Structure 1
């Protein structure tokens, strides 16, 4: 497919998303099934166009003076992919599969529009009702923080130190421009592609089958490191999901000790079986039901809660979620977070630690939940995180990404180059 066909396809997918209120993966899958002639490169380019358009939906609409799917897709080519109005018009001229587009003069006038005159939420490309939460979380930097979420995310890997080291993983992906992550000591970063470029399929590599690495964002790697699991300890990963942090713990603990992995939705645990085998993580015990945790109350050295949340910290990867989030969604999540905090706290031994993690940037899900938990549970106290941060990051000079009122840490694309993650640690008093 030429650019015109790819542009038309992106417009069709964006229309499907808008009219049927569908997640991006579903809309892309259906388009691909009904257009089987499209090659893998075409599908990747169309996916990139759609995701990029949604990342900057509001500012694109402002510049184009229209928010239709065609406006967004064309603006993506002009503003994010670096195609000039003249080149775009010339390239699409005579292409029978291309949509109709405005003249080069009109497009140039659109690009010249003064975005600084737009409301702040449009410049930031976030829903208007969330500006207060962003300002509360980040203060004067909130707009830059929001804008950083409009960029494509890199592919981050965690070298599995049970079988290899970071140098070997870096060598395996040297031809992909792999670099060491700045903060996570075992992380490897492969930069995001530009324009139509596909992200590599890392899980198809032989090195993946050998267990050399797991795909894990740098922020998630840091959250696991901050939780502090050590050899010989007993750990409960209370919202384990697919097991990324349990696997990180197994490596940190050098396969010495025990890790109990539980999730309220046991279907999410199924992929962990193969991941454990591939990684050589011998100390992870999957607990499918809450009844399987009986007898662990008050026994755990460390309990990790990777809580269900709004996912605002992952908007670089899932930009459509930015426009689906509602106040009700947020309220539902905060109620879930209080429940899992209360439930997981029962498993922490006196002197043990409870780590609370979200992939959210919202104060309601982060510092507000910390304050509420401490009010309900006076038997817990907060842990100072400055020294722990310094001890786990590869760059000891990196600023400590404190959350509001120093109640935890708040990582983000702008601050730490990672997805957005909140981390807080509590200790059960003796």
Structure 2
């Protein structure tokens, strides 16, 4: 396919996403299934146009003067892929499968590139109702932090030290030009490209099937390290999901001690068994939700990890459609779920043990506010400094997380070049 045909396909996918409220990944998969003539390069390029359009939806719509799928896709080509009017007109004229020619209004909008009088939320490409939250949370850096969520994310992998070393995986994947990162000592990164560039098929490599690494954002790797599980400890991963942090902790614990992976939704635990086997993990077991499933763990755990259900604002780079679907009602529901998860998880922490609270969100309502609410209602717990562990692990010269006092840690694309994560630790007072 030529670029003009790829552009038209992206518009069709965006129409499907907007018109039928479908997840982007699902709409792209269906488009590929219905257009089998399209090669992997075509599908990748179409996906890039769609995701880039959604990452900068607000600013693109402002510049174009409308928010139609066509306007968003044209804006992506013009403002993100650096195609001027002449280049756009040429690629449209060169392909019978391209969109209709540019209108006079579209030409004027593309040439103007105007952001005059655009409000903060448009310039930052965030939902309007979250403008105050971002400005309060990030103060003078709010626009920089917001705009960073509109950039393409890299692909990161965590090398599994139970089976290999970062040097060996680096050599194994050398044809893909992996890079070391500033913080994650087991992390290799494949930076995001521009335009129609493709990311390597990391999960198709034999080294992945051997369990030498897992695909995991560096931010998730960092918060897993900050949990600081020691060999021989008893750890409950209370909201384990697919098991990414369980796997990371198992490696840190050198397969010694025990991790109990639990999730209130048994379906989310489904992938973990195969992942544990592939990674060579021997110190983890799953607990499915049923009456009394965790009774034997009450008051015994050295560390209880609550990777809480959240709005996912920290993953907006990877799932930009969720940015525009998020509502105040959904945020309120997540806050309630987080409070319930903390209230349930606390009972498994032994005196002197730690309750670790993590979200992939950058909203204070899900992060700091939840911690203060918990402490007020649970005086037998106290907040301890996550910043001290950060300094022990990463020193003073590495990129600093966004944080006002380093009691808790907030990672962001702008500050640490990772997805957004919040990390906090509460110690149960010894009896």
Q: TM-score range by the shorter chain?
A: over 0.9
The structure showing larger relative contact order (alpha-carbon pairs under 8 Å, at least 6 residues apart) is 1
Partner of 1:355: 356
- Does 2:329 correspond to 1:328? yes
Contact kept in structure 2, 1:374 and 1:380, CA below 8 Å: yes
Q: TM-score, normalised by structure 1?
A: 0.96
Partner of 1:373: 374
For residues 289-314 of structure 1, the C-alpha deviation after alignment (integer angstroms, 9 at most, x for no partner) is 25221110110001111000000000
Instruction: Tell me, in whole angstroms, the C-alpha distance in 1 between the residues paired with 2:270 and 2:110.
Output: 50
Q: Say if 1:227 and 1:11 are closer, same or farther in 2 by CA, change over 3 A.
A: same
| Residue aligned with 1:295, SS | helix
- Does 2:311 correspond to 1:310? yes
- Does 2:198 correspond to 1:169? no
Q: TM-score, normalised by structure 2?
A: 0.96
Partner of 1:275: 275
Partner of 1:42: 42
Instruction: Tell me, in whole angstroms, the C-alpha distance in 1 between the residues paired with 2:105 and 2:239.
Output: 54
Q: How does 1:214-225 map to 2 (within 5 A)?
A: 214-225=214-225
For residues 36-60 of structure 1, the C-alpha deviation after alignment (integer angstroms, 9 at most, x for no partner) is 2211211111111100000001111
For residues 358-408 of structure 1, the C-alpha deviation after alignment (integer angstroms, 9 at most, x for no partner) is 000111000010000101111000111222001223x64135425356551
Instruction: Tell me, in whole angstroms, the C-alpha distance in 2 between the residues paired with 1:104 and 1:255.
Output: 65
Partner of 2:213: 213
Partner of 2:107: 107
Instruction: Tell me, in whole angstroms, the C-alpha distance in 2 between the residues paired with 1:309 and 1:185.
Output: 27
- Larger mean Cα displacement after TM superposition, 356-365 or 104-113: 104-113
Partner of 1:66: 66
Q: Say if 1:370 and 1:102 are closer, same or farther in 2 by CA, change over 3 A.
A: same
| Residue aligned with 2:67, SS | coil
| Residue aligned with 2:36, SS | coil
Contact kept in structure 2, 1:89 and 1:103, CA below 8 Å: no
Shift of 1:111: 3.8
Instruction: Tell me, in whole angstroms, the C-alpha distance in 2 between the residues paired with 1:75 and 1:50.
Output: 11
Q: Say if 1:192 and 1:113 are closer, same or farther in 2 by CA, change over 3 A.
A: closer
Partner of 2:139: 139
Contact kept in structure 1, 2:387 and 2:407, CA below 8 Å: no
- Does 2:181 correspond to 1:199? no
Partner of 2:31: 31
Contact kept in structure 1, 2:157 and 2:189, CA below 8 Å: yes
- Does 2:289 correspond to 1:292? no
- Larger mean Cα displacement after TM superposition, 290-299 or 150-159: 290-299
Contact kept in structure 1, 2:93 and 2:101, CA below 8 Å: no
Contact kept in structure 2, 1:63 and 1:111, CA below 8 Å: no
Q: What RMSD in Å do the two structures reach over aligned CA positions?
A: 1.6
Q: Say if 1:293 and 1:106 are closer, same or farther in 2 by CA, change over 3 A.
A: closer
Instruction: Tell me, in whole angstroms, the C-alpha distance in 1 between the residues paired with 2:45 and 2:169.
Output: 27
Instruction: Tell me, in whole angstroms, the C-alpha distance in 1 between the residues paired with 2:32 and 2:403.
Output: 42
Consecutive unaligned residues of structure 1, counting only runs of 5 or more, are: none
Contact kept in structure 2, 1:305 and 1:356, CA below 8 Å: yes
Consecutive unaligned residues of structure 2, counting only runs of 5 or more, are: none
Shift of 1:198: 2.0
Contact kept in structure 2, 1:32 and 1:43, CA below 8 Å: yes
Contact kept in structure 1, 2:63 and 2:109, CA below 8 Å: no
Q: Say if 1:116 and 1:424 are closer, same or farther in 2 by CA, change over 3 A.
A: farther
Shift of 1:104: 8.9
Partner of 2:56: 56
Instruction: Tell me, in whole angstroms, the C-alpha distance in 2 between the residues paired with 1:248 and 1:6.
Output: 39
Count of matched residue pairs = 429
Instruction: Tell me, in whole angstroms, the C-alpha distance in 2 between the residues paired with 1:415 and 1:312.
Output: 15
